Structure 1
Amino acid sequence: MTATESQTEVQPADVPAGPEIPDALPLQPEDPPRVGEFWLRGRLGANAAGYLYAVSSDDGREAVVAMMTEGSADDAAARERFVYAVDELPEDVVLAHNDSDDDDLALWVAIGPIRADDGSSAASDERLIAERRGEEILSAVLMDRIPQPGKLRGPDFRHYWENRRRPGLFRIWPLPWPNALRPPSWWALGFALLTMAVIMALAVFLAWLLFRHAAPLEPEPVIPTPTGTTTVTVTPTTPPPGTGSGSVTPPTTGPPTGTPTTGGVPTEVPTGSAGTATNPGDKF
């Protein structure tokens, strides 16, 4: 047996396979779930200027999104460099981007087109080209590829916002929920809503059974009026025996006798010179 034949007998399974490197890293809690019409699927790269995301739209289009960090998005000069780098790209490469006038939001741009991953080299090349273009945009913001004229002296240049590396502010409209739900999730959501409705109806029915024969409150509650006073209902009592319910005692015509007590109400009505009743308040 020759050396060549002995080498061919080595099986590929005997060689330990290295760790498989994923195409994109998982998203973090601070990453937006969606920008524009594109859903984020994973991180492709990051630096102090922004992030690169692998995205896909509802209609199946693949793209790469470059998005600024919160630190670079708050710098007007960095935003201008981002817009300038996007304008330098071909028109058919820029699939979508947000408005640069939104000062409270981070700028982002979707780069493509990228065909579906069918295992061909053309799909890999398109994704690689889109990633390189996104890196060039973020490098333009960071200015790390500008050649240094003259000799290097003194400390290295560093942006004041490089420590603020969280993804920039974003706005999701329309909201991703419930568009992101799959058919099983729709069934679970409908079952949960139906269960809550049944529980609420059962609670109302039990409350009606418990309190339908309950006695009314005694005494009735006093309801305050808007003026701050309270209205109290006085129940009339039975008249004393010997007096009719419709009899009225005629007033005496003679002069009032006696002095009324303090706090009392006079029972006779004073008369004028003509013998007609007058209002005591008219004298003042």
Structure 2
Amino acid sequence: MTATESQAEVRPAETPDDAPARVIPAALPLQPEDPPRVGEFWLRGRLGANAAGYLYTASDETGRDAVVAMMTEGSADDAAARERFVNAVDDLPTEAVLAHNDSDDDDLALWAAIGPIRSDDGTSAASDERLIAERRGEEVLSAVLMDRVPQLGLLRGPDFRHYWENRRRPGLFRIWPLPWPAVLRPASRLALVLALLMMAVIMALAVFLAWLLFRHAQPLEPEPVIPTPTGTVTVTITPTTPPPGTGSGSPTTGTTPSLTPSPLPTSGIPTDVPSSPGSPGSPGDKF
């Protein structure tokens, strides 16, 4: 098993009444591929990993701490490995399993939150509860790997190895509701608020500069003609000379000059009608 064993340093008791306190090393930070949350538990760091899954330290919204065991993508795709994970979780004491997802979710990796773990108050009892939860999580992952199954018979042939051992990324998970922005720390929230304010200031500055550039812009010459819904355009014609018969140099206000079309001249227009039969212009001569 390649899982990192929980290390503990035992402090020597100075007096008989002083109980030994175990110092638990801090967990490793989460990697980008690690889920930020499974179920109602927020993951805080890695405690161990092997080909079967990962151990995380986690806590829920109420501050309840737990150790989360989660399968890798390789083991989660194996039906036999999933069954071994479920059986190992069922073998744990009922009070030790705080939460787990449904084993019928074939597209998701199985996980289980193991506890209970009291808040770290510096006493040996809190350290022991965390160590017990870690041991139980390791047993669940070892059941998936089958590395603690006693050897029957003689060792012959090549070593046994699962076909999915190279696929060690965390298994698929689903987050709902989304973790953002509840998981953000106060410093991250302040940076987010400052970024939004900066974006608002930049947008307001851009609008102000556009107003300064175009506030003295002249209207288009000539103004665009907007057609009516029927597709026609109305154009108003203002005469520069008074119509005949008004006797004034300017058109009368409130009157519209009438434009009468002049008759077309009738002389000089060929009619192509022959004056007598047999003339050159007769159409009947062409056939």
Scaled by the length of structure 2, what TM-score is found?
0.69
Q: How far apart, in 1, do the equivalents of 2:147 and 2:204 lie? A: 65
Once the two structures are TM-superposed, the CA of residue 46 in structure 1 deviates from its matched residue by 0.9
Deviations 1:147-205 (A, max 9, x none): 23322222121111000111112222222221123344434433332232222122112
The equivalences for 1:262-277 within 5 A come to none
Selected match of 1:76 from 79, 98, 117: 79
Q: Is the 8 A contact 1:222 1:232 kept in 2?
A: no
The answer as to 2:68 corresponding to 1:65 is yes
What does residue 200 of structure 2 align with? 197
Greater alpha carbon shift after TM alignment, 39-48 vs 182-191 = 182-191
Gaps (5+ residues) in structure 2?
A: 1-22, 245-256, 273-287
**Equivalent in the alignment of 1:266:** none
Partners of 2:24 and 2:127 within 8 A in 1? no
Stretch deviating more after TM superposition (42-51 or 173-182)? 173-182
Q: 2:163 aligns with which of 160, 170, 173?
A: 160
1:94 alignment partner, one of 71, 82, 97: 97
- Residue equivalent to 1:280: none
Q: 2:259 aligns with which of 247, 250, 256?
A: 247
Distance 1:156 1:221 in 2: 86
Matched length: 234
Output the amino acid matched with 1:47: N
Q: Deviations over 1:104-155 (max 9, x none)?
A: 2211110000011122221121111111111111111111122233222221
The alpha-carbon distance between structure 1 residues 240 and 120, as it changes in their structure 2 partners (threshold 3 A), is: closer
What is the RMSD computed on CA atoms of the aligned residues? 3.4
The 2-side partners of 1:218 and 1:153 are apart by 97
Which residue does the alignment assign to 2:15?
A: none
1:25 aligns with 2:37: no
Change (3 A) 1:80 1:214: same
Residue ranges of structure 1 left out of the alignment (5+ in a row): 1-19, 224-230, 261-284
* Counterpart residue type for residue 113 of structure 1: P
Residue 40 of structure 1 pairs with residue 43 of structure 2: yes
TM-score, normalising length: structure 1: 0.70
Within the candidate set 109, 124, 128, 1:125 is matched to 128
State the shift of 1:250 in Å. Answer: 7.5
3-state DSSP class of the match of 1:202? helix
- Which residue number corresponds to residue 277 of structure 2? none
CA distance in 2, matches of 1:153, 1:249: 119
